[in-house]
Structure 1
């Protein structure tokens, strides 16, 4: 006879899990003891949210199962934001959520919360183990759901259930089939008809193009179509792609924006990009997605198809004739060359006493390893990663684009570094994001995880400040009073250094990257740096001008001067 704890652990190990992130405590002590006696590694974090983010970072990159576990009440609630982030990223994670003993459930016992109501909205599976004989069956179902539906699965276990004995007689297993979905032949022929009648075709690729790089490039070559990618697909589509026109959306570039707006046929491949205003007004739209419920929910589509991107393109290519007209492609490529030139010039440093964040990102791009894995906090660090770090087919990128949380970067980097101990893993952190979960810098030290943390320290919640100014408001409540993060890192046991001059950055970054253990580089960057969208509207100009007027009237003329100098007068 085995205990429920032992059965849960054994099932998850057989499903491929290698690590469990969490904090020990009363209701899971029997479970953690079973982990101690198993092949699993327990990663002791300081905050449960970090555990969920780390597990999600690991699983996002590996595609394999990772685990997190914690106590009832406060422990469960602390996990919640990290679970939402990991679930929305499509990371196969299993959370073991403990609850109070069954004899006290429903009686208002201390720390009791309704776990199922909490997690049903951010999981692909959420169920109690209600009887010891269910232990392997429920756990296997959870792991199977997480791996096959790409999301978080939650197993809720009462504290006293963990130590119950079970015969565990039936060999419940985790199955991982690999089906290949294709649209019907009649649907493919309808797509061929739309392609034949179009004159300006643009391909818009999303994360569903993961693993379909060569097929997308082959389709672009045959159609003479520019390829625009979403923020989440940069890693998979922008490298070795002569048809690349960059990104669309608020974080995108001019070439990507116009390639979509000027198309008369937009092929949306594996993307559920959320912002309707960045879809074309006049073009016909075809959307191919693995999930039929995604079809047409962002913009009206003329043809909706369900299928794997790579397999669908393989089936489509023999059905279409190659095109000769490359005027639309040439226009997009010319714009993209200019976009890249301007992006590079924004990182120039004529003043050694001033550090632009673009310059920091571009220096990192040059010095980082070819196969580095990068994470970035929601907000401006995410922008600098997406705009200035190059994909090459070996690098990996993870940002909070669907959930949009702060403080995700170094916790996700923690999980990635645990899975890839010989790989350079770099977190681009904002000063606001870092300080939100700063206590887990100690986890990097305690677990000897060589994450490299790069702090864009501008003394503010910079992205929020930008949003306020674009709305014509005076920015407020965004100031941050920060310590010397380099000195703080050294006090915690990390390598730590602070940079305040542009001419000292490259040497400091070299020392930081070369350090063998966890390391933090605190870089004081310019606060007056706007994240410019690919197309500036008259309303945005008017609103920014209104901010300038308000700032002048309230005695903040120096900020207006700095804003103009750093963003418009260079």
Structure 2
């Protein structure tokens, strides 16, 4: 039976498990959207395509299933770019339907013509055009299979007139999901066991590739008496029920995690492709286990690289190594971790009712949010406060822009997550810069009745950039923001909105905000003078910050220096 290419594409996406399509309708995809209208797929009408790609990525990251975004030719498809990069780097299985001009005009510099393949093949696991109607189902199935199995974005390019063509659609092309056991060879496991046996101070460093292997990581840590440090993306599943957990390393990490990695003589890097070379240990042997062989030794020279699933590899290793009693390496790391946690708690104490510290705001949220809440955070300081002050309990989920590092990701990603989990509390921690970058899709929350809760850290600045400039010894420049009353703005468009400027008013306002039945926004004025303190202060950073202070005083900004000292060093 013949169908239009539009019908074939939509049916193939349905069969692959997709539930929603995010986009804006128009010209070259009108026949596609008409086929969506007649299907089980839900069309989510966003106001900006970048939001659609971020929302699709948020949904797919949390569910592990396919989501779709679709755009018109030229500007429509191009608006997806940043959201596609973010979703791809997060490993979210998204299929993008990128339409193009009619085939009769291709190559003639027709208005809105864009070479979609050149743009999207750098941020996708699959990027192909449907060049004949008979290919429609086959191409879409390949795209869906690549997105689901390789964990990334797949792009299908379709000319506008191709959607109207008919295809026989007789062959039963379908997505196949394999579940292989991947582990190193016996000889490699023996080599790993020998390295473990001869090492004195072992640290386990667990990344996103250890998801699903929490039981094995815990068993290995207890067997070796080893501390477990983790990456930012593995916070949600490593922190809970992991007695040997000592936190994170890196600029966003804590001292215990950093020292556990720096002070070992063998680092077992499990499912992590941690990007920052300066935080790998000097002089230690590094063993890296990853299912992707191209990741081995990519960030730091390693002693042994093994291709394998983390859980399967640990299961093979454990019978070959002796059990150890916990030693000083672990006890030192755990003692420091307790100090780190206590330091975070101290920094979150509110001692001045006229001043709301972002740490205090986040700690209040941690106490009041649901046990199974899902949190997103904008790139910049909201991401730091999430990582340091929201507790993982095995039920909560977290998503931040850690690999792409974009602004304005939080509430668009929360939108897709909320649609996938309508019964759960989904909370976006938004910077005021991120919020104002993609503010238009607050209207989507209202129109589509998506009950996301938005918390705005309103410090009237691009705070993380301000901190970067000061640490470089520069006067902060062009970072100030003149913001509206976001709560009043939210009310004007039909959602619940409130503003808090005093710490004494925070708890009641937050309770009302969390209890709202629909989308709700809480605008909180937080201290602008808060520094994101790294786990270790380098001498150069101190000198550069002092240089900033001197420049600020000479430029008549002495009050800011006093505020900076008070808020970060005198509390």
Fold shared by both chains (TM-score > 0.5): yes
Residue in 2 that maps onto 1:219? 220
The within-5 A match list for 1:454-533 is 454-533=455-534
Shift of 1:325: 4.4
Question: How many angstroms apart in 2 are the aligned matches of 1:528 and 1:521?
Answer: 21
Structure 1 residue 562 corresponds to structure 2 residue 559: no
Question: How many angstroms apart in 1 are the aligned matches of 2:325 and 2:175?
Answer: 50
The within-5 A match list for 1:411-490 is 411-490=412-491
Question: How many angstroms apart in 2 are the aligned matches of 1:75 and 1:435?
Answer: 21
Residue in 2 that maps onto 1:195? 196
Structure 1 residue 337 corresponds to structure 2 residue 338: yes
Residue in 2 that maps onto 1:240? 241
The within-5 A match list for 1:374-393 is 374-393=375-394
Residue in 2 that maps onto 1:163? 164
Matched residue SS, 1:355: coil
Shift of 1:282: 1.5
CA-to-partner distance for each residue in 1:80-126, whole Å, 9 max, x for gaps? Answer: 00000000000000000000000111111111110000100000000
Shift of 1:72: 0.6
Residue in 2 that maps onto 1:80? 81
Residue in 2 that maps onto 1:2? 3
Shift of 1:569: 1.6
Question: How many angstroms apart in 2 are the aligned matches of 1:541 and 1:219?
Answer: 39
Question: How many angstroms apart in 2 are the aligned matches of 1:338 and 1:324?
Answer: 23
Residue in 1 that maps onto 2:284? 283
Matched residue SS, 2:359: helix
CA-to-partner distance for each residue in 1:460-479, whole Å, 9 max, x for gaps? Answer: 00000000000000000000
Question: How many angstroms apart in 2 are the aligned matches of 1:543 and 1:344?
Answer: 28
Question: How many angstroms apart in 2 are the aligned matches of 1:569 and 1:284?
Answer: 41
Residue in 2 that maps onto 1:62? 63
Matched residue SS, 1:160: helix
Shift of 1:318: 1.2
Structure 1, gaps ≥5 residues long: none
Structure 1 residue 183 corresponds to structure 2 residue 184: yes
Residue in 2 that maps onto 1:102? 103
What TM-score does the superposition give when structure 2 sets the normalisation length?
0.99
CA-to-partner distance for each residue in 1:275-310, whole Å, 9 max, x for gaps? Answer: 000001121111001111111111110010010011
Matched residue SS, 2:398: strand
Question: How many angstroms apart in 2 are the aligned matches of 1:218 and 1:371?
Answer: 25
- Superposed structure 1 runs of 4+ greater than 4 Å apart: none
Question: How many angstroms apart in 1 are the aligned matches of 2:181 and 2:124?
Answer: 24
Matched residue SS, 2:79: helix
Question: How many angstroms apart in 2 are the aligned matches of 1:526 and 1:158?
Answer: 51
Question: How many angstroms apart in 2 are the aligned matches of 1:40 and 1:5?
Answer: 13
Question: How many angstroms apart in 2 are the aligned matches of 1:429 and 1:327?
Answer: 41
Residue in 2 that maps onto 1:132? 133
The within-5 A match list for 1:333-372 is 333-372=334-373
Question: How many angstroms apart in 1 are the aligned matches of 2:382 and 2:141?
Answer: 38
Question: How many angstroms apart in 2 are the aligned matches of 1:272 and 1:216?
Answer: 17
Shift of 1:319: 1.2
The within-5 A match list for 1:305-344 is 305-344=306-345
Query: Residues 379 and 408 of structure 2 are in contact (CA less than 8 Å); yes or no, is this contact kept in structure 1?
Result: yes
Question: How many angstroms apart in 2 are the aligned matches of 1:384 and 1:214?
Answer: 28
Shift of 1:205: 0.4
Matched residue SS, 2:364: helix
Question: How many angstroms apart in 1 are the aligned matches of 2:508 and 2:204?
Answer: 41
* Cα RMSD (Å): 0.6
Question: How many angstroms apart in 2 are the aligned matches of 1:437 and 1:147?
Answer: 28
Residue in 2 that maps onto 1:399? 400
Structure 2, gaps ≥5 residues long: none
Structure 1 residue 262 corresponds to structure 2 residue 296: no
Structure 1 residue 299 corresponds to structure 2 residue 275: no
Query: Residues 45 and 444 of structure 2 are in contact (CA less than 8 Å); yes or no, is this contact kept in structure 1?
Result: yes
Question: How many angstroms apart in 1 are the aligned matches of 2:326 and 2:448?
Answer: 57
What TM-score does the superposition give when structure 1 sets the normalisation length?
1.00
Matched residue SS, 2:305: strand
CA-to-partner distance for each residue in 1:309-337, whole Å, 9 max, x for gaps? Answer: 11111111111110124211000000000
The within-5 A match list for 1:13-32 is 13-32=14-33
Query: Residues 274 and 299 of structure 2 are in contact (CA less than 8 Å); yes or no, is this contact kept in structure 1?
Result: yes
Matched residue SS, 1:28: helix
Shift of 1:27: 0.3
Residue in 2 that maps onto 1:253? 254
Question: How many angstroms apart in 2 are the aligned matches of 1:313 and 1:495?
Answer: 49
Question: How many angstroms apart in 1 are the aligned matches of 2:292 and 2:34?
Answer: 40
Shift of 1:238: 0.7
Question: How many angstroms apart in 1 are the aligned matches of 2:298 and 2:265?
Answer: 20
Matched residue SS, 2:154: strand
Question: How many angstroms apart in 1 are the aligned matches of 2:112 and 2:341?
Answer: 54
Question: How many angstroms apart in 1 are the aligned matches of 2:68 and 2:146?
Answer: 14
Question: How many angstroms apart in 2 are the aligned matches of 1:530 and 1:256?
Answer: 20
